[in-house]
Chains A and B, each alone.
Chain A
Amino acid sequence: MLGGILIGLGSLLAMAVSGKVPGISGIAGHILRGNSGDTAWRVVFVLGLIGGAAIAFALNLGSGGFAIPGDRSLPVYAIAGLLVGFGARVGGGCTSGHGVCGIGSGAKDGLLYTIVFFTMAAATVFVWNLVAKGAGAG
C-alpha cells in the first residue's frame, strides 16, 4: 500500500505544479507530439519517474522481481506494446489518468473507462490461460 500512496502523492504533486491531469499515457503522448508549448514539465516528470524507479531498483525496494509468465514470448510483448500505446491514447487515458486520477477525483467517466480496460484485461488473462491450458493438454 505504501507504493500506492507514493503513486498517488506523485500524481498529486504533478497536478498541483502543472495544472494538468498527470496521466502517464497523456504525458508520453504529448512529449511525442513535441509541438505543444509545455513539453518541458512532462519531460522532467518522466525523467524523475525513470530516475525514481532506478533508485528503487538499486536499493532493492521492489516487492516483486521481473517475471514473465512462461508462455508469453517476445512477439506477444511486441503486439501488446502496440495495443497498450494505441488503446491508451484513443481511450484518453490509462491506469494512472483514468484509474488513479479519474477515480480519485470522483469522475464517473474515468471510473467507466477504468472498468472497461480492467474487464478486458481480466478477460484477456482468462482466455489466454484457457488456450494455454488447452495447448498443454493436447
Chain B
Amino acid sequence: MKPCLLLIAGGLFGAGLVISGMTDPARVIGFLDFAGDWNPALAFVMFGAVTAFGLGQSILRKNRIRLFATDLPDTSASPVSKRMLVGSAIFGIGWGLSGICPGPALANLPELHREILVFTPLMLAGMAAAQRLFDLDR
C-alpha cells in the first residue's frame, strides 16, 4: 500500500510537470523573461501547486491525518543561512541558463532529448559534489 501511494504521488507530480509545460525549457525561459516577451502561464501553475499543497497540508495538520508517516515534517522557518542563500543564487543562474530545474530534469528523461541527457547526469554530479563538499545531511 505504501509503495503504491508513493508511486501515485510521483505519478501525479510527473504528469503535472508535463501538463503544465514545466518540462518545456522555452516556456520556462519565457516565464522568466520579464523584460521581453513575458509568458505568465507558469505563474498560474505555481499558484495552483502552492495553493493545493498549502490547503491540503493545513487540512492534514488540523485533523491530524497521517497516511503512513508517524508525523508531518516541521516546516516552521529555520534561521536563514548564508550558505543556503548563495546556493539558491547558484541554482537560479543554472535555471535561467537552461530553463530546467530538478523535477523537469527527471520528468523529461523518457523523451531522450540530448540537452536532457547532458543536463541531468551533470545535475546529479553537481548534487553529489555539493553533498561531499558540505557534508549535507538533509
Are B19's CB and A80's CB within 8 A? no
Are A48's CB and B125's CB within 8 A? no
Closest Cβ neighbor of A31 among chain B residues: B124
Q: How large is the interface on A (under 10, 10 to 19, 20 to 34, 35 or more residues)?
A: 35 or more
Are B92's CB and A120's CB within 8 A? yes
Number of residues from B at the complex interface, CB < 8 A: 110
Majority SS of interface residues in chain A? helix
Q: Which residues of B (82-113) have their CB < 8 Å from a CB of A?
A: 83-103, 105-111, 113
Number of A-B contacts (CB under 8 A): 482
Are A48's CB and B11's CB within 8 A? yes
Q: Mark A60-85, 1 if CB is under 8 A from B, else 0.
A: 01111111110010101111111111
In the complex, A57→B110 CA distance in Å?
9
What chain B residues lie within 8 Å of A19 (beta carbons)?
Answer: 66, 68-73
What chain B residues lie within 8 Å of A112 (beta carbons)?
Answer: 80, 85
In the complex, A120→B107 CA distance in Å?
23
18 A–B contacts, CB within 8 A, in A order? A10-B14, A15-B60, A21-B75, A24-B106, A48-B11, A52-B15, A53-B15, A53-B17, A63-B20, A69-B29, A72-B97, A74-B114, A82-B129, A83-B90, A88-B102, A99-B50, A104-B57, A123-B96
From A1, A24, A33, A79, give the contact of B103 (CB < 8 A). Answer: A24
What chain A residues lie within 8 Å of B36 (beta carbons)?
Answer: 129
Are B127's CB and A25's CB within 8 A? yes
